[in-house]
Amino acid sequence: MRILIVGSGGREHALAWKLAQSRSCEAILAAPGNAGTAELGRNLPVHDSDLDALCDAAESNRIDLVVVGPEAPLAAGLVDALSERGILAFGPSQSAAQIESSKWFAKSIMQSAGVPHARGELFETPQAAHKWLEILGPDDLPVLKADGLAAGKGVIVPDHIDDAHDAVDQMFAGAFGSAGERVVIEDRLSGMEASAMAVVSGTDILPLPLSCDYKRIMDRDQGPNTGGMGVYAPPGFMSGFVGDADDVFATIHQPVADQMTAEGCEFRGLLYAGLMIDDGALNVLEFNARFGDPETQAVLPLLDGDLLPVLEASARGHALPRDAISHSGRASVSVAIVSGGYPGPYETGRPIHGLNAVDEAVDIFHAGTAIDDDGRTVTAGGRVLAVTAVADTLAEARGIAYDNVRKITFDGAFHRTDIALREVPP
Ligand code: AMP
Ligand code: GLY
């Protein structure tokens, strides 16, 4: 099969890397891709927001399967547009992608499906939202969410009720564009967070290993949120809290998939649940309608077998071939190396050294990288690389990952030093 991967991050390089190993893969193309995907195939100069150009590129390059990485083209209807032209694509329709693109849609599905989640209300005017905040008790701090897609920034977790009122004003004043025209205010939950991804084809689900990402820029979860500074899989604390990992998928993904099918918006693609686990209680914080980034960079290296027939079956709405992939039972740690200044302003075009010095056992997934006019691999984004190591234990994987992170250098390079540390005995 000829495969086109849409997107340009570490997730897309990891998908390209895994699919390139498939027996049935003839060619990998990426739009727009990065220096990592270019090593596996060919990059096309097409932005992932240009739906017409993506459809044209898929047609002219005789693509058999398009795999969509990011949420924005899914929410904009890329899979529908491709299917109108008879091109097979992995990912949900625009209607099913609402499980990510509307927080309120996701809540309604969870409510109907009996899936545990934070209780919340939808507000369409600032007056109604302020009124709601006024009747909360002094210790009842809420969480505010722009209903629509806000590039991962639409969630505000205030430390004081005055900040909650300010957040309402900002959201309705357009701080998140049209995403904030409707605001969801929900109960604040506490506990440990984990990510649960499953490939879904209608009511058929195929769970992938659980994982845990680190969103803040600095060690000990200090500083602003980022697109992800590292991830490990599987989280040991999940078995202690909720029993078997299969319970998670039976409690969440299966009822959601069943409910969406029953409501006439069947989900095909990757269903990602962001979980909060506290004292054995499991709640969903959010759904994504696509592979997580950076979770994918730690989870795909733990899969034995061929992912391509699984994605193809999901795209066709067929039963998923359960024997095509299996979990290796090993552990992985993936550490992001980012540009100095990220998630604020940062410089690009810095040559990256040491990429060939890393151990063979380690996988380097590119995110913001490019090849410059002199043929050098240079930085081209905030998150630059993810260094992933797989081993029998998290402690070993962590040791190997950091040994290799230290071999890669560029001006201003920065990484967290505590990825997976909480799972490793001192
Ligand atoms: P989301 O985009 O919904 O995952 O939200 C981003 C982050 O906000 C999550 O990873 C949590 O850390 C936090 N968050 C979201 N919803 C809640 C909630 N109901 N209670 C506490 N924290 C939350
Ligand atoms: N790692 C969180 C996400 O992919 O949205």
Residue with tokens 């990065």: 34
pLDDT band at 266 (very low <50, low <70, confident <90, very high): very high
Look over the chain and give the mean of its residue pLDDT values, rounded to a whole number: 93
Q: What's the mean pLDDT in 386-403?
A: 97
Percent of the chain with pLDDT over 70: 98
Say whether pLDDT at 242 is over 50: no
Q: Which of 153, 195, 291 has most ligand 2 atoms within 8 Å of CB, for mutation?
A: 195
294 CA to middle of ligand 2, Å? 7
Say whether pLDDT at 287 is over 90: yes
CB 69, CB 6: distance < 8 Å: yes
Q: Which of 105, 147, 157 has most ligand 1 atoms within 8 Å of CB, for mutation?
A: 157
Q: Which ligand is nearest to the CA of 295?
A: 2
Among the listed residues 308, 319, 329, the one whose alpha carbon sits nearest the alpha carbon of residue 392: 329
pLDDT at 128: 82
User: Does the beta carbon of 340 lie inside 6 Å of ligand 1?
Assistant: no
CB 284, CB 248: distance < 8 Å: no
In terms of pLDDT, which residue wins out, 425 or 267?
A: 267
215 CA to middle of ligand 2, Å? 9
Non-local CB neighbours of 398 within 8 Å, separated by 6+ positions: 232, 333, 389, 419, 420, 421, 424
Number of alpha carbons in the 13 Å side-chain half-sphere of residue 31: 24
CB 267, CB 202: distance < 8 Å: yes
Pick from 12-16, 175-179, 295-299: least confident: 175-179
d(CA 397, CA 335): 11
Pick from 145-149, 199-203, 319-323, 328-332: least confident: 145-149
Q: Which of 103, 149, 272, 365 has most ligand 2 atoms within 8 Å of CB, for mutation?
A: 272
Max CA pair span of the chain: 63
Q: What's the mean pLDDT in 233-238?
A: 89
Pick from 84-98, 143-157, 204-218: least confident: 143-157
d(CA 332, CA 205): 23
The pTM for the full model equals 0.95
pLDDT band at 311 (very low <50, low <70, confident <90, very high): very high
pLDDT band at 167 (very low <50, low <70, confident <90, very high): confident
In terms of pLDDT, which residue wins out, 237 or 383?
A: 383
pLDDT at 146: 85
Q: What's the mean pLDDT in 32-49?
A: 96
User: Does the beta carbon of 286 lie inside 6 Å of ligand 1?
Assistant: yes
Highest mean pLDDT among 135-144, 145-154, 263-272, 273-282: 263-272
Percent of the chain with pLDDT over 90: 79
d(CA 232, CA 176): 30
pLDDT band at 170 (very low <50, low <70, confident <90, very high): confident
Q: Which residues of 37-66 are buried (b: 16+ CB within 10 A; e: fewer)?
A: bbbbbebbebebeebeebbebbeeeebbbb
Domains by residue range for the chain, with CATH = 2-95 (3.40.50.20), 119-187 (3.30.1490.20), 190-329 (3.30.470.20), 330-426 (3.90.600.10)
pLDDT at 159: 87
pLDDT band at 126 (very low <50, low <70, confident <90, very high): confident
CB 6, CB 48: distance < 8 Å: yes
What burial class does residue 328 get, using C-beta atoms within 10 Å of its C-beta: 0-12 exposed, 13-18 middle, 19+ buried?
middle
Say whether pLDDT at 4 is over 60: yes
Positive or negative, the CA dihedral 108, 197, 307, 62 is positive
Question: What is the chain's length?
Answer: 426
> What's the token pair of residue 41?
């195939």
pLDDT at 245: 66
Asked if residue 351 has a cis previous peptide bond (ω within 30° of 0), the answer is: no
The residues pairing with 177 across neighbouring beta strands, listed in sequence order, are: none
User: Does the beta carbon of 186 lie inside 6 Å of ligand 1?
Assistant: yes
pLDDT at 237: 83
